[in-house]
Structure 1
Amino acid sequence: MTAAKEVIVIGAGIIGASIAWHLTRAGAKVTVVAGSGAGATPNSFAWINASWGNPEVYFRLRIRSMAEWTRLANEVPGIPLQWCGGLCWDLPRPELEAYAAEHSAWGYGIERVDRAGAARIEPNLTELPDFALYVAEEGVAEPVAATQALLADAERRGARIVAGTTVTALVQANGRIAGVDTSGGRIAADEVVIAAGAGSPALAATAGIELPIEAPPGLIVHSRPYEKLLNGLVIGDRLHMRQTAEGRIIAGSDFGGADPGMDAAATARDLFAAMKAMLRGTDGLELDFHAIGYRPTPVDGFPIIGRAEGTSGVYVAVMHSGITLAPAVGLFAACEILDGERDPLLDPYGLARFTQ
């Protein structure tokens, strides 16, 4: 390992923060510069899971990252991690059954529950499903606090955090990426990590690298802090919601948020009204604000993690499900950048797959 390797991480969201922390812990000289992303981390539902109809190879990456969350929370002071469980009934029963059978065979701890079981798990729901799935090992990490904890600990270990500065371009010299131009001047480095979320394609394009990424908007409503009404994640057929560590109930039409539509404020009011109707004891519950995040989603739905072929000195880490994947991506990216060792769990997610 080259302990003195200088690495710039563009992006101070959960993925950039995790990569920066792991690089710093491994001995690299790290500079974190905020990118031109659209703020996916603070607007995230923050559900940590290995759910949904993904292929087994992606399930294995997500399960590994769930385990890495526990490791990371033990190593970094102040990460707010809670394994609160997730109650899910947002698909027709035959699809839920098929999903449960498949994921149970892979080792996912899925429990089938009836209406009475759902009531025991979430007693304040006004509408109970006749059939649902419950996964006790799913959880949340409050995204802003977790990101801040990672960056603060990385800085304590020697990383440099450059705030109030925008990266304008990647710098090329002698056939490789040698740093970045910013609004505050040029910064040189041995390697540059692009982890700027929805802003990543524009940055990569300055070096002739195409990132096939979409950034759909998602609206999530946030209540004012309130008494505890929810025990864990509720993934219902009309609404996904959870209660944050500070007592806010947040909700979207799904975990990615609602379509903001032509009138985002009206969408937020309707969503909040639907949320209140789903819960008992909400007479005093008030809407505080709504937020719209842009989800950096590669066009095939899976992460882009790794070096760009044909351009040395640049590493890309862009994905939806950043909250779930952050600890494993940070660990694996640091190993690959510093030691050249690529974890097999990352093999399907290189950028070259889009040109093959």
Structure 2
Amino acid sequence: MAARQHVVVVGSGIVGASIAWHLTRDGAAVTVIAEDIGGVATPTSFAWINASWGNPEFYFHFRRRSIAEWKRLARELPGLPLSWCGGICWDLPPDRLEAFAVEHASWGYGIERLDRAAIAAREPYLKQLPESALLVAEEGAVEPAAAARLLLADAEARGAKFVNAAVDGFIRSGERISGVVSSAGIVGADHVVLATGAGSVPLAASVGVTLPLEAPPGLIVHSRPFEKRLNGLVMATDLHMRQTTDGRIIAGSDFGGTDPGADRHATAAALFAKVKESLTDGSRLSMDFFTVGYRPTPKDGFPVIGGCGQDGLYIAVMHSGITLAPLVGLLASNEILTGDADSSLAAFRLARFG
């Protein structure tokens, strides 16, 4: 019998946690190394699961495939904090909104047009209603840090190990990456997965790999828990909101968050005032905290998934980590353990940057 392959996963956000979970399920010996369970960008995400936003058709279908994988993952791992609440949007000019609806409906996205009365029936606590909006019933949200923790806990129950440490670099055996150097010591491996978001850039650079990555900041406000006020995702002009499973209303000027500006506290206060103004009884809401996340975004907007020219090193970095995590975990595990390239990931290789 062949020995189990040992894979070190660097990073514990939603992407790293999904890859670690799938690898463990698929029979690998897995060690996750990270300083914080749940990662850095994941807890600051708006956490919208979708295939929207003007993506080219091939990427739309990839994202929609991952929506289905979230449902598969929920069946395999009961308790995932998912909500298939659907979303309404009117945050584009009417002509662009209609073009989006026609295009995505032709691709199979279930889009429904709502008039003002239907919007009010769906979201009765919204104070400022548009004349029309679009509803995408299949979209949803996840509580991302809780989901990452659940994936990691289940992976540990299946035999994976978690090491609370910083990774400083890699070790080599000949021409192959064969482990990592961490603050807890050297950890050898058959494969190393780098899934640390923006933190992947300096680590990759240490072995001569350039990741063309940007990490724009995004500020999200979080209310204190409150009674039910939103039934689903609301993508209004200059304000995107949802209510979490524990009753917090979270919001940004869009789903990526608000530019925090020079005074983050002032920006957060102004954004939360807009949230309060948008809801009936909004004056009773109070802000608990705000976060500023740095979204790891490859320069062409698409994920970087796969080998990077360094044998033994696999990279998984993307802005759409929340939507794509279960599918990326599934495909990455198969590629790493079998050595077979998956054609559906061909568009996302680092080599496309030349």
Residue of structure 1 in register with 2:56 after alignment: 55
Q: Deviations over 1:31-85 (max 9, x none)?
A: 0011699711000000000001100110111011000000101111321111000
Q: Say whether the 8 Å CA contact 1:225–1:248 is kept in structure 2.
A: yes
Q: Say whether the 8 Å CA contact 1:38–1:198 is kept in structure 2.
A: no
Whole-Å separation in 2 of the counterparts to 1:336 and 1:117: 46
Q: How many residues are treated as equivalent by the alignment?
A: 353
Q: Secondary structure at the match of 2:42?
A: coil
Whole-Å separation in 1 of the counterparts to 2:352 and 2:343: 15
Q: Report the AA paired with residue 279 of structure 2.
A: L
Whole-Å separation in 1 of the counterparts to 2:347 and 2:133: 32
Instruction: Kindly indicate whether residue 324 of structure 2 is the aligned counterpart of residue 318 of structure 1.
Output: no
Q: Say whether the 8 Å CA contact 2:275–2:282 is kept in structure 1.
A: no
Q: Say whether the 8 Å CA contact 2:304–2:316 is kept in structure 1.
A: yes
Following superposition, the deviation at residue 341 of structure 1 comes to 2.7
Following superposition, the deviation at residue 117 of structure 1 comes to 1.5
Instruction: Kindly indicate whether residue 274 of structure 2 is the aligned counterpart of residue 274 of structure 1.
Output: yes
Whole-Å separation in 1 of the counterparts to 2:278 and 2:155: 41
Q: Say whether the 8 Å CA contact 2:89–2:135 is kept in structure 1.
A: yes
Whole-Å separation in 2 of the counterparts to 1:6 and 1:288: 42
Q: Say whether the 8 Å CA contact 1:305–1:351 is kept in structure 2.
A: yes
TM-score between both structures, scaled by the size of structure 1: 0.97
Q: Deviations over 1:196-247 (max 9, x none)?
A: 0110011111111111101000000000000000000001112000000000
More divergent stretch after superposition (36-45 vs 154-163)? 36-45
Q: Give the percent of matched residue pairs that are identical in Structure 1 and Structure 2.
A: 62
Residue of structure 2 in register with 1:67 after alignment: 68
Whole-Å separation in 1 of the counterparts to 2:80 and 2:3: 26
Whole-Å separation in 2 of the counterparts to 1:326 and 1:182: 25
Instruction: Kindly indicate whether residue 189 of structure 2 is the aligned counterpart of residue 189 of structure 1.
Output: yes
Residue of structure 2 in register with 1:339 after alignment: 338
Residue of structure 1 in register with 2:327 after alignment: 328
Structure 1 residues 316 and 330 mapped into 2: Cα distance closer, same or farther (>3 Å)? same
More divergent stretch after superposition (118-127 vs 240-249)? 118-127
Following superposition, the deviation at residue 346 of structure 1 comes to 1.1
Following superposition, the deviation at residue 152 of structure 1 comes to 0.4
Q: Secondary structure at the match of 1:221?
A: strand
Instruction: Kindly indicate whether residue 187 of structure 2 is the aligned counterpart of residue 159 of structure 1.
Output: no
Residue of structure 2 in register with 1:9 after alignment: 9
Q: Report the AA paired with residue 340 of structure 1.
A: G
Instruction: Kindly indicate whether residue 171 of structure 2 is the aligned counterpart of residue 171 of structure 1.
Output: yes
Q: Say whether the 8 Å CA contact 1:3–1:28 is kept in structure 2.
A: no
Residue of structure 2 in register with 1:32 after alignment: 32
Q: Report the AA paired with residue 117 of structure 2.
A: A
Q: Deviations over 1:147-204 (max 9, x none)?
A: 01100000000000112x1000021220010100001111000110000011001111
Q: Report the AA paired with residue 125 of structure 1.
A: L
Q: Report the AA paired with residue 66 of structure 1.
A: I
Whole-Å separation in 2 of the counterparts to 1:238 and 1:120: 22
Residue of structure 2 in register with 1:141 after alignment: 142
CA-based RMSD: 1.4
Q: Say whether the 8 Å CA contact 2:20–2:155 is kept in structure 1.
A: yes
Residue of structure 1 in register with 2:212 after alignment: 212
Residue of structure 2 in register with 1:257 after alignment: 257
Following superposition, the deviation at residue 319 of structure 1 comes to 0.2
Q: Report the AA paired with residue 139 of structure 1.
A: G
Q: Secondary structure at the match of 2:332?
A: helix
Following superposition, the deviation at residue 345 of structure 1 comes to 2.1
Q: Say whether the 8 Å CA contact 1:3–1:26 is kept in structure 2.
A: no
Unaligned runs of 5+ in 1: none
Whole-Å separation in 1 of the counterparts to 2:35 and 2:178: 17
Instruction: Kindly indicate whether residue 233 of structure 2 is the aligned counterpart of residue 225 of structure 1.
Output: no
Q: Say whether the 8 Å CA contact 1:2–1:338 is kept in structure 2.
A: no
Q: Report the AA paired with residue 238 of structure 1.
A: D
TM-score between both structures, scaled by the size of structure 2: 0.98
Whole-Å separation in 1 of the counterparts to 2:240 and 2:28: 40
